[in-house]
Structure 1
Amino acid sequence: MTTGGPDTDFLVLPPRPDSTAELLAAAARRRGLAVEQLPGPVVPDRLRQSAGGHLYGGPVFAGTVAADLGLALLEPDDGWLTRLPYEYTRRDITLTTLGEARWSRTPMFVKPPRDKHLPAAVYADGSRLPGDERLPADTPVLVSDIVTFLVEYRLFVLDGAVHAASRYATGGRLDPAPLDACRHRDAVLDFAEDLLDAHADSLPSAVVVDVGLASDADRGEEHWAVVEANMAWFSTAYAADPDRVLDVVLRAAGPCGRLAARDRAFRKR
């Protein structure tokens, strides 16, 4: 473990780092950043005095330690997908609550906007949605038409441009590969450029956007569409270049004192 201090930029990892956290830790050390793997949710006093903290980890861990570390966590707005023009989504999407979604009697795809507290899946109707004390009726969810994605890509976006990317699924199954090795590379980048040219201002300066090639069986067509947007500090890198992924993560979860004015609206409360 490399020890950080008041005048040293450092990357904080959770008690049980995943493979992406380990790749980012190695990338951080290569550029001279200190790495701190916390044994629990308590931030050591020596790190509370620092103004150079960054973080990679899940929302529960991040929410517990962010204030003590003086971090500004960037996240897309819950309703971002619902406000995109149809040409970018190719499906109707509604931001509602779990309680309202339970009244639906038609098949639908349901996912949480950001935190992964609810399995993103196709549900035959609202009665099939889970319900317990961890998922109250006012839990926000995105409800959309059911779309079949043939192939899906993860884009790490920095300052309105794709900074790192990876394929992550084919036919709904995990299938990571570097974007440069994929036959859809140019199509992905063209679609992303068009999307970000028009809508980068509605996203944090450091964010993850997933896109995919969707199949419209009724019309016999295929088209590119946005899958979702996510927090970069809680997104799997898959086969993307970890050094470039780290660039996005450092901005997405960095010191409050370095928060740009344009990102204030995207700071996690």
Structure 2
Amino acid sequence: MSTLRTLFLSPRVTATGHAFADAARRRGARVETLRDWRVPPQWRAAPAASLYSGPLFADAVARELGLGLLEAPQDWLARLPYELTLRKVEFTTIAQARALRRPAFVKPPNDKSFPARVYRDGSGLPGSDAVDGTEPVLVSDIVTFAAEYRLFVRDGEVRTGSRYATGGDLDVVPLERDARRSEVLAFAERLAGTGLPSAVVVDVGLIESAGWAVVEANAAWASGHYACDADTALDVVLHAARPEGEFGTADRRFLRHTPAVVRD
């Protein structure tokens, strides 16, 4: 990064948060852990801030930190051509998904408002007492990934990557040590021009007897790094979560809508 930033972390610091904090300190940046879901007055609209946290915490503090947060469009996965997903993916609302009468994989696009998993049918989804019916969801055909990979992407280029699962089980290995590295990178090149922000995390995987497919896209500022190089992944995070005024026209349409927080 050209300007040393203060990296803010949520009160619940994960292993990735610790790795990014260490990487930030190595380059002389400041690291601050926010102790509750509010920003102390001295840090509000900090001139060179960044953030690593989950989406709910980001919504609570991003405005006061003066941050813009890049994320993929909620319907990005559903808009991809079949040859990049190898399954049908529909972007809809949870109210409509509750009418499903078949098994499907259902998830919130960019948040964790309910568990992302295979549901036997729509009756298993959270009810209206738990989740508003207008909540957007992605409904996917069920597929089995033989291997899955996390890629930190900046300006369309994979900067660092990691395998994170084999056969659905956690199996973490740096991408450079994985036998399928060249296949992963070749598939990632096919995602150019699909409508992603300049800094994002993309998960891809190999479907046995079918080929390579996109698993999902994630916000870099909220993604675990697995065995990715922490210093390189941090560069992507710092580009994805930075003062809102730094974003150019091309990226502004990818900024997360963060609500205004009313304090007592």
2:45–2:64 Cα contact (<8 Å) kept: no
Match of 2:197 among 184, 204, 210: 204
Moved more, 44-53 or 18-27: 44-53
Q: Within 2, Cα distance between the matches of 1:148 and 1:75? A: 26
Question: 1:222: how far off?
Answer: 2.9
Question: Which residue does 1:214 correspond to in 2?
Answer: 207
Question: 1:121: how far off?
Answer: 0.9
Question: Which residue does 1:264 correspond to in 2?
Answer: 252
Question: 1:139: how far off?
Answer: 1.2
Question: 1:11: how far off?
Answer: 0.2
Question: Which residue does 2:226 correspond to in 1?
Answer: 238
Question: Which residue does 2:117 correspond to in 1?
Answer: 121
Question: Which residue does 1:36 correspond to in 2?
Answer: 32
Question: Which residue does 1:78 correspond to in 2?
Answer: 74
- The aligned amino acid for 2:171 is D
1:154–1:210 Cα contact (<8 Å) kept: yes
Q: Within 1, Cα distance between the matches of 2:227 and 2:4? A: 29
Q: Within 2, Cα distance between the matches of 1:150 and 1:31? A: 37
Q: TM-score, normalised on structure 1? A: 0.92
- The aligned amino acid for 2:182 is D
Match of 1:135 among 108, 131, 134: 131
SS at match of 2:59: helix
Q: Does 1:229 align with 2:222?
A: no
Question: 1:186: how far off?
Answer: 0.5
Match of 1:58 among 40, 54, 58: 54
Q: Within 2, Cα distance between the matches of 1:49 and 1:69? A: 4
1:8–1:50 Cα contact (<8 Å) kept: no
Question: Which residue does 1:16 correspond to in 2?
Answer: 12
Q: Within 2, Cα distance between the matches of 1:31 and 1:92? A: 44
Question: Which residue does 1:179 correspond to in 2?
Answer: 175
Question: Which residue does 1:3 correspond to in 2?
Answer: none
SS at match of 2:83: helix
Q: Within 2, Cα distance between the matches of 1:225 and 1:193? A: 12
Q: How many residue pairs are counted as aligned between the two chains?
A: 255
When the two chains are superposed, the root-mean-square deviation of aligned CA atoms in Å is 1.2
- The aligned amino acid for 2:198 is S
Question: 1:146: how far off?
Answer: 0.6
SS at match of 1:228: strand
What is the CA deviation profile of residues 212-262 of structure 1, one whole-angstrom value per residue up to 9, with x for unaligned ones? 0012xxxxx230000000100000000000000000000111111211221
Percentage of pairs with the same residue: 54
Question: Which residue does 2:262 correspond to in 1?
Answer: none
2:151–2:159 Cα contact (<8 Å) kept: yes
Question: Which residue does 2:184 correspond to in 1?
Answer: 188
Q: TM-score, normalised on structure 2? A: 0.94
1:51–1:257 Cα contact (<8 Å) kept: no
- The aligned amino acid for 1:117 is S
Structure 1 gap segments, 5+ residues each: 1-6, 216-220
Question: Which residue does 2:260 correspond to in 1?
Answer: none
1:75–1:266 Cα contact (<8 Å) kept: yes
Question: Which residue does 1:26 correspond to in 2?
Answer: 22
- The aligned amino acid for 2:144 is T
Q: Within 2, Cα distance between the matches of 1:238 and 1:134? A: 31
Question: Which residue does 1:248 correspond to in 2?
Answer: 236
Match of 2:98 among 96, 102, 127: 102
Structure 2 gap segments, 5+ residues each: 258-264
SS at match of 1:266: coil
Q: Within 2, Cα distance between the matches of 1:147 and 1:141? A: 18
- The aligned amino acid for 2:238 is L
What is the CA deviation profile of residues 33-86 of structure 1, one whole-angstrom value per residue up to 9, with x for unaligned ones? 100001012212221252100000011111111111100011110100111111
Question: 1:8: how far off?
Answer: 5.8
SS at match of 1:151: strand
Question: 1:132: how far off?
Answer: 5.2
